[in-house]
Structure 1
């Protein structure tokens, strides 16, 4: 699908998803015109940092796995895969497959590319868990009785335990003497074997390497959250950081259900509903969400499309072995 078609599809989905949920257009435009664009500029910078953190994580992972790519190429792949992730059904899977393919074009082996995807996915869960723990700690500090009622923390903590268990088992498997394996037959068996090898190779990274990947993931999530906070401040919304973190993290659970590409319509509706529940007007809440989603979703699509075109035209650069 061409980039123009993707953009058109996302615009249509946004219109359908938000139909009847936005305030009067004149009031809405007046709210946008009265926004503090110093905060909007800060929100823009924070979203750029969020994307850069993900790109640097990928480069560091590949470096730790024995190969090194140029920053410019990694950033272009990050932008292109982000555009795919937020514009297509099952975008996360398509994005990962695209990244592995682009890594192979740059000379990175399939197993190393898949291993970096496994580590990045587990680190992303860990980074989001850290935000949940920090948000939960802040909420409990303000209201100790909230500890028993904040159920999302228990859900994310359970997911984090499963992810940590996968890492521990993978490291244990990688440390065992390698046995002779029969050649897998059939497409499914080959895919399972390739996934197992990538999982074990990724899990065998040093603890320090895992810590760095986790730190980059936490920065990626945190700066995206702060981008939303800056957009809210630009419209003067009376929402505290702890409350906003709760809304943001709840939306991250909602967005895992692939009802629409990139959660278009679903995420906007959930954010507006959460912000208005805290006392914000529908007009200011919708304007703040529009700014945030423009920066974190809609503008990434054409930029990522341009990056994908540049990657397609670029010549293959021999990979440097670390």
Structure 2
């Protein structure tokens, strides 16, 4: 029996994707690009290589092992936060899959321009493959973003309160406190307004406007409808679920900060955790300006400058920053690439 002409015409389209660039080649190219950017960003900012290697050789590797363990806990806290949010939005995913998605999206966030947006889009797509609706995936991203801001705020408010309680005469710079207060106000306003919006009844769509009949207008309308649905789903979570997401985010930030502290201790830097927390906050604020992928060059320069300002030598400060960035950035890229390949081979579940 002869086949219909349509089947014959569709066969080339079925094999066309094979002519594209393999995924592992693209991942390798991203890794090479990040290394090149790091070399350009750090050129002229590192001390003599022999003294630098000598400082690394004399490091306390027990503290480095602790720093690595803390970075693993930081990633796990984010993964468990995602699992908790999705479970309370009605979808349960296995820890192994959530952790793989967390590694892959972290690698994208670190290695690409506008990495945070690309990372979020990738996570939503992978959640869809696992059976999560786009609305629920977007809702978890919204809640996670607000919880991340709130977690950093909670960390610094608790830390500042602890310092004052221990020493009422302690001097706390007002500049970081203003930033923290502004972040806390914005986060709180977003959560409160979102919960009020979720309590309102759904309105019927408005009549046809001048752009509604165009392709761009329909696309904007779909985006707005999806955003409203995601916001409504996220804001409808219980207060307990928001609090849990906030605590997971605080643990994520705290263990990343302690990873930096352990790296500094491994190199014998004379920097206390309180001072280091102030440097860390300043770096996180600078990091939000997407000058380079993952803050390459910018983060390293800011950390080295902050550590040397506290009395550390340029050699030991650069070595500590290298250890911290290896654990929190560079090693995550190949691990995330391997996780992305594993996810690609995983069985896809139809979206509900």
TM-score range for the pair, normalised by the shorter chain length = over 0.9
TM-score norm. by structure 2 comes to: 0.87
Number of aligned positions between the proteins:
319
Residues 1:136 and 2:160 aligned together: yes
Pick aligned residue for 1:206 from 238, 250, 255: 238
- Structure 1 residue runs of 5 or longer lacking an equivalent are none
Distance 1:290 1:17 in 2: 13
Partner of residue 63, structure 1: 87
Tell me, in whole angstroms, the C-alpha distance in 2 between the residues paired with 1:140 and 1:57.
Answer: 30
- Please report how far the alpha carbon of residue 122 of structure 1 lies from its aligned counterpart in structure 2 after TM superposition: 0.2
The answer to whether the Cα contact below 8 Å between 1:138 and 1:242 also exists between their aligned partners in 2 is no
1:50–1:223 CA contact under 8 A, matched in 2:
yes
Larger Rg: 2
Query: Is the CA contact (8 Å cut-off) linking 1:127 and 1:221 kept in structure 2?
Result: yes
Paired with 1:47 and 1:146, the residues of 2 have a C-alpha distance of: 30
- Give the drift of 1:145: 6.9
Match of 1:73 in 2: 97
1:140, distance to aligned residue in structure 2 (A):
4.6
Post-superposition Cα deviations, 1:38-60, rounded to whole Å, max 9, x if no partner, equal: 00000000000000000000000
Q: What CA RMSD, in Å, does the superposition of the two structures yield over aligned residues?
A: 1.7
User: Which whole-Å deviations, capped at 9, do the CAs of 1:274-315 have from their partners, x for residues lacking one?
Assistant: 000000000000000000000000000000000001111111
Q: Deviations over 1:13-56 (max 9, x none)?
A: 11111111111000000000000000000000000000000000
Distance in 1, matches of 2:180 and 2:232, equals 24
**In structure 1, C-alpha distance between the alignment counterparts of 2:297 and 2:27, rounded to whole Å:** 20
Could you say which residue in structure 1 is the equivalent of 2:308?
A: 276
CA contact (8 A) 1:135 1:246 kept: no
CA distance in 1, matches of 2:111, 2:42: 17
Equivalent in the alignment of 1:111? 135
Q: Which runs of 5+ in 2 are unaligned?
A: 1-24
Could you tell me whether the CA contact under 8 Å between 1:139 and 1:146 is conserved in 2?
A: no
Counterpart for residue 25 of structure 1? 49
Counterparts of 1:161 and 1:203, CA distance in 2:
17
Q: 1:127: which partner in 2?
A: 151
Residue in structure 2 matched with residue 51 of structure 1 by the alignment: 75
